Structure 1
Amino acid sequence: MATTAETPLLEEHVIDAVDHRGLAAGRSNTGRWRAAWFIIGVEVAERFAYYGIASNLITYLTGPLGQSTAAAAANVNAWSGFSSLLPVLGAFVADAFLGRYRTIIISSLIYVLGLALLSLSAFLVPITSENKSPSSLLNVLFFFSLYMVAIGQSGHKPCVQAFGADQFDEKDPQERNHRSSFFNYWYLSLSAGVCLALVVVVYIQEAVSWALGFGIPCVFMLVSLALFVLGRRSYRYSKRRQENEINPFTRIGSALLAPDSCSDSDVEDATALVRLIPVWLTTFTYAIVYAQYMTFFTKQGVTMERTILPGLKIPAASLQLLIGISIVFFVPIYERVMVPIARSVTKDPCGITTLRRIGTGMVLATLTMIVAALVESKRLEIAKEHGLIDQPETTLPMSIWWLIPQYLLLGLADVFTLVGMQEFFYSQVPTELRSIGLAFYLSALGVGSLLSGWLISVIDLATGGDAGNSWLNSNLNKAHLDYFYWLLAVISAVGFSVFLFISKSYVYRRVDGV
């Protein structure tokens, strides 16, 4: 009888959310897919902007800025790592002080300013420099602008996704299942934005102008901000803490330091956060593999035959489009075919647990590195056969389509591991800290990128740099990227083994009211 009495209230209002006026959020006129698609559209624009810069950054660094391949790859990894680690700070500000909505607005403005300055720096390069080495001041402006973009993303990235997932009430069984689907369609949609950037922006950067290629993402970010504000009446907002309530970070900290003086609920929340740390650490190995597609995968493609029509060459960075295609193609198959089949076997509403999903992607990542190593061995063999070892500017008689399998495999791995990580870290933290949960996922990618950059620097130094027989020589025909890929395959396999051991004993967080 108690359940019957509570049902009408559950149907009319969402317990822990309010609308834009601060009133109880109605279930029928706020949130769910109507609001979620609005927020997904904002993320598509942001991903278009981010990948409009990131996907071809190594080409800009080794081209107009004149850096070596190893230095450029390390710089890309450092920036990517910084971009993925900073969301921890942005999420803290959102969850502890500003709230997700305000944080998104402020960080978006910083993002737009960074993109505008980046466009300006690229515009000034041909004016101030007749060679490939622009002035130190221009380099400072470029990297200042680049890291301002990272600061803008720090508040935007974790908060937008958490805000989107907040549109589904986890205490309602139907909406909880829809939230699981949200993470799948979220990643599918943002992949579409990435694909658009790889087709349009990368081509403009290489064929028309780098300044225009950086300027277009700036316009898209302005559009995304306007779109986000336009949808504010349809959103569900988490209830703000009352002044007499304890900050969630203080509450969790107290439960960790003095559990005997705290409630069972606080201790359970604190324990749930601690349990995440071993899982988080094991995902670093996947993140190291993930970091390669924006650096060495692209540099491989530059050396290969890229002509698709007479007089028309495909930009090497555009092959990253295959990752997005793989995701767009496979997510509906996973959602509509694999999940129902798995659900009938496992009785899990999501088909398979999030940890099993993450582990599957880690296995695919190992396979990706094995395939990449074999393809690179073939590329080096062709360079040797045709006497092109000392002619790095000469295109090898080997089609860039040889790289298709490693891109498609990495996209498939993303469907499992990255989407799984998003849902896992969102669902396994207390409600008040879900921006932090998603920042956990992003920070794993950030640490992986930094580790990749560190590994590149160490290997380049240990094997002699460009003056020696470096595995990562700027002349890739003299390098041994295949050795580097084999090393990453081993690291990935070891990481999966540790992950498997840890995940077997993991206890999922209990959802109240379900």
Structure 2
Amino acid sequence: MTAVFLSNQVIKNAILSFILTSFSCDGMVIITLSASLQSLKPRPCEGNSCPSATQVQKIVFYSGLYLIAFSSGGVKSSLLPLGADQFDDENPAERTKQGSFFNWFYFCINVGALTSSTLIVWIQEHVGWAVGYGIASLCMALAAGCFLIGMPIIRTREPQGCPLKRVLQVLVACLHKVNLRVPADSSCLYDVQDNDFNIQGTRKLAHTTQFRFLDKAATMSDLDCKEGGEYSPWRLCTVTQVEELKMLLRLFPIWVASIVYSIAYAQMYTTLVE
């Protein structure tokens, strides 16, 4: 969520992705050092007695873990839209390549997960934890380096505002107009000209008849105007804003259905270690 907010409000997606990739690389280096240096490792067990780690050793180790956890969540949420930005949806040829990109992206993620859960785990158990972590650190460093080299040719978009705010505006506008009747003619709903959407970098969406109760947010009333004749975005939303929320609602069942799969998928990271 933090990465999504930053990429939409403050930092370009490409820059944020590189920063988070660098953080992940730093975290892997810290973990590697924690498993390599004697001063950062607990003393070996003597019989049934195993000395506990010192406070400094715990701080170093957990700081690496938390840095990886923070950056990994951000990288996963920022890389996918960054990849989508490299293709023009208006171009049929690039739209086909975009679908191919998503397929290869998911394939590479699973190959990486399979490799880390089998080969890297085997190396850690039979060669050494430091070697296993070192290989992962090297891979992250190579990824960050390749990303940096490709930065000049990457397509980037300027931050366009928080999408969550647009969703909340639709919900609040609906609550204001809960007793208002939606017009039968969709052309009577509030919308803006194509030029305004081009300036904002937003694509105009066509009206759909599903979830008609949300159309209340785009239904105009006398109370929608602020001082100066402008419409309040918290009382009147465009058809495109309403359709964006409708799209999220249509995706909700798919998200719910994937929860069970995600739970089972997450077990792959711990099965072999246990």
- Coarse TM-score class (shorter-chain normalised): 0.5 to 0.7
**Residues 272 and 128 (structure 1 numbering): CA distance in 2 closer, same or farther, change over 3 Å?**
same
Give the Cα separation in 2 of the matches to 1:231 and 1:252: 34
Q: After TM superposition, give the deviation of residue 220 of structure 1 in Å.
A: 2.0
Match of 1:337 in 2: none
**Residues 122 and 253 (structure 1 numbering): CA distance in 2 closer, same or farther, change over 3 Å?**
same
Q: Superposed, which structure 2 residues align to 1:365-444 within 5 Å? A: none
2:74 aligned to 152, 155, 166, which one?
Answer: 155
Give the Cα separation in 1 of the matches to 2:248 and 2:100: 24
| Alignment pair present for 1:256 and 2:184 | no
Q: After TM superposition, give the deviation of residue 197 of structure 1 in Å.
A: 4.2
* Count of aligned positions: 208
Q: After TM superposition, give the deviation of residue 268 of structure 1 in Å.
A: 1.0
| Alignment pair present for 1:166 and 2:85 | yes
Give the Cα separation in 1 of the matches to 2:43 and 2:73: 33
Give the Cα separation in 1 of the matches to 2:272 and 2:33: 28
Q: Superposed, which structure 2 residues align to 1:445-460 within 5 Å? A: none
Give the Cα separation in 1 of the matches to 2:25 and 2:86: 26
Q: After TM superposition, give the deviation of residue 263 of structure 1 in Å.
A: 0.8
2:131 aligned to 178, 198, 212, which one?
Answer: 212
**Residues 155 and 292 (structure 1 numbering): CA distance in 2 closer, same or farther, change over 3 Å?**
closer
Match of 2:197 in 1: none
Match of 2:9 in 1: 96
Q: After TM superposition, give the deviation of residue 298 of structure 1 in Å.
A: 5.3
| Alignment pair present for 1:222 and 2:141 | yes
Q: After TM superposition, give the deviation of residue 144 of structure 1 in Å.
A: 2.6
5+ unaligned residues in a row in structure 2: which ranges?
A: 174-216, 219-235
For residue 85 of structure 2, what is the amino acid of its counterpart?
D
**Residues 248 and 158 (structure 1 numbering): CA distance in 2 closer, same or farther, change over 3 Å?**
closer
5+ unaligned residues in a row in structure 1: which ranges?
A: 1-87, 300-514
For residue 129 of structure 1, what is the amino acid of its counterpart?
R
- % identical aligned pairs: 29
SS of residue matched to 1:238: coil
CA distances 1:388-417 after superposition (whole Å, capped 9, x unpaired): xxxxxxxxxxxxxxxxxxxxxxxxxxxxxx
Give the Cα separation in 1 of the matches to 2:51 and 2:250: 49
Q: Is the 8 A contact 2:170 2:237 kept in 1?
A: yes
Match of 1:117 in 2: 30
| Alignment pair present for 1:130 and 2:130 | no
Give the Cα separation in 1 of the matches to 2:13 and 2:116: 26
Give the Cα separation in 2 of the matches to 1:127 and 1:182: 42
Match of 1:189 in 2: 108
Q: Is the 8 A contact 2:14 2:154 kept in 1?
A: no
CA distances 1:350-378 after superposition (whole Å, capped 9, x unpaired): xxxxxxxxxxxxxxxxxxxxxxxxxxxxx
TM-score between the two structures when normalised by the length of structure 1: 0.37
CA distances 1:271-324 after superposition (whole Å, capped 9, x unpaired): 22233334323321112222222223654xxxxxxxxxxxxxxxxxxxxxxxxx
**Residues 175 and 201 (structure 1 numbering): CA distance in 2 closer, same or farther, change over 3 Å?**
same
Q: After TM superposition, give the deviation of residue 127 of structure 1 in Å.
A: 5.2
Q: After TM superposition, give the deviation of residue 257 of structure 1 in Å.
A: 1.3
TM-score between the two structures when normalised by the length of structure 2: 0.66
| Alignment pair present for 1:107 and 2:20 | yes
Match of 1:144 in 2: 63
**Residues 216 and 239 (structure 1 numbering): CA distance in 2 closer, same or farther, change over 3 Å?**
same
2:263 aligned to 284, 288, 300, which one?
Answer: 288
- CA RMSD across the alignment: 2.6
Q: Is the 8 A contact 1:96 1:249 kept in 2?
A: no
Q: After TM superposition, give the deviation of residue 133 of structure 1 in Å.
A: 4.8
Give the Cα separation in 2 of the matches to 1:257 and 1:227: 44
Give the Cα separation in 2 of the matches to 1:177 and 1:289: 31
Give the Cα separation in 2 of the matches to 1:289 and 1:198: 14
Q: After TM superposition, give the deviation of residue 262 of structure 1 in Å.
A: 0.8
